[in-house]
Amino acid sequence: MWRFRVFGRNFSYGKALFRGYSSHSHFGGGGVIRLSAFQGHFRDPAVQEWWFGADETGRERMKARRYSFPCALIALAFGAGPLWAQSAAQSIGITVPSIATSLPQYGDPFGTRKWLNDRGITYSLIYTNDVLGNLSGGIRTGTIDQGKLETQLLVDLEKLAGWKNWSFYANAFGIYNDGRIRRDYVGGINTIAAIEATPTVRLSELWLERWAGPVSFRFGQLAADAEFFYSDLSQIFLQSDWPTIAAENLPGGGPAYPLSAVGARIKYEFPKDASLLLAIFNGDPAGPCSGDPDTCNRYGLNFRISDPAFMIGELQFRRNRGKHDTDLATTLKIGGWTHLGQFPDKRYDNVGVPLASPASNGMPLLHRGDYGIYGVIDQQLYRPSGGDGDSGVSVFARGSVSPSNQNLINFYVDGGIVFGGMIPNRPYDRFGASVIYARFSDSVRGFDQDQINFGTLFTPPRDYETNLELTYVAQIVPGWTVQPVYTSIWHPSGTGIRYPDAQVTGVRSVVRF
């Protein structure tokens, strides 16, 4: 006997009711249920079959062939339900996955979300919580709790106000913690948990965008890490973040979480599987600051426009990322950035004397501008039958170089492996391993060696910092994941003596509504 509940009513039908059932009715597939001998349960005895799946455009759809509505109930009982629920949720403005799909009336009992969506206004809430502990090494051992509530608002201005091809977007963060695992406990420079930031409520992005054919123009307060210099595959890891080489070398860490900056971005979509992005930002999102930059622009409302510019460009190539592609998926990104400000030399003063020397005037040589080049690749190694570009087994890598003289980090690489949908009966779970390596520049190493030679430093020169993260993302219900994690950190801040190698473990929970 099959039992199911739809629209508040219970239904049950004997197994013999069905002549046939397609095994392809799971998520992302399709199938046909053929029905007969309904014994008076349905008004239309001529119903023959119910079809569900994805059409040639990749949109999930369900349609009846000569049936009355009640036959949909049978299809829902046999696997079409998840696709139907997802489509229905999206039709009222819910971004899936979302816990709203598991709530009565999609968590919208008064129809407010649907009313807003009908007028082009959609919103999302994403809550992330980390409980992490430093088991050994670093500055000190201990446990912290940190969280971030992100609100996102997207407005289709054509739907709302008749402005064709215009949209508006804003997001904000509510951040709290009782300690910072990287800065207060480990003492390193590589990210351990990307949501770490000064507790506050802050505005992040606030922009308008207009499409004109294949070209998009966006302007306002932007975050570079939302579109540039990231790997899609790496996003499952806690340490996935704006890379250390940019965060340490750019003023204020650059326009990246938790900061953003006034700027503009233009994007061109090539006819097939490629994009070009160019952006310019105010070059310092925080301004002159003696502490952490996010304390000097605590609420995201500085809107600075007079600092030397930061510019970044990226060329993106994609292959086999479509829903119906069967070959191995690839994403390749090649980019570079430049900053027009002045950057102090890490080793010499303005007359060529080592800064570590007692004879130095203490005024570093200033370099005009800074730059970096980078590349990112996501490569699928195994794609299961019917799987998308993120399923199976995939690897990713991201690398970058910058000049040594004016930068703390001159070489950076991260990478890892991700397994998606590989656990039986757990199609949405993912797990993997990720490594970060940041190399201190030759100028920094030379400065440290000069200090040793002049008797003012008694630890080895800084050389590198490396992180290894192992993690498993388990979906509890659509829109809610729980993620245990272990991270090992070698040479925090560049030496294993000042701060011993550290071991961090904990768990992350993410809820999307």
Both tokens of 430, joined, read 């993912």
Looking up tokens 């245990």 gives 484
Q: What is the pLDDT along the chain (513 residues), one digit of tens a residue?
A: 444 333 333 333 333 333 233 333 333 333 333 333 333 333 333 333 333 333 333 333 333 333 333 443 333 333 444 555 667 888 899 999 999 999 999 999 999 999 999 999 999 999 999 999 999 999 999 999 999 999 999 999 999 999 999 999 999 999 999 999 999 999 999 999 999 999 999 999 999 999 999 999 999 999 999 999 999 999 999 999 999 999 999 999 999 999 999 999 999 999 989 999 999 999 999 998 888 999 999 999 999 999 999 999 999 999 999 888 999 999 999 999 999 999 999 999 999 999 999 999 999 999 999 999 999 999 999 999 989 999 999 999 999 999 999 999 999 999 999 999 999 999 999 999 999 999 999 999 999 999 999 999 999 999 999 999 999 999 999 999 999 999 999 999 998 678 999 999 999 999 999
Instruction: Write out the E strands in 248-389.
Output: 261-269, 274-282, 309-319, 330-349, 364-382
In angstroms, the CA 53 to CA 80 distance is 8
pLDDT value of residue 83? 55
Residue 504 CB-density burial (10 A; 0-12 exposed, 13-18 middle, 19+ buried): buried
With contact defined as beta carbons under 8 Å apart, do 170 and 203 qualify? Answer: yes
Distance in angstroms (rounded) separating the CA atoms of residues 359 and 357: 5
What do you get for the CA distance between the two ends of the chain, in Å?
34
Please provide the DSSP assignment of 451-468 as one string: HHHTTS--SPPP-EEEEE
Domains, the chain: 2-91 (no CATH), 99-512 (2.40.160.180)
- The pTM of this model reads 0.83
What pLDDT is attached to residue 9? 36
Rounded-to-integer distance, Cα 372 and Cα 343, Å: 14
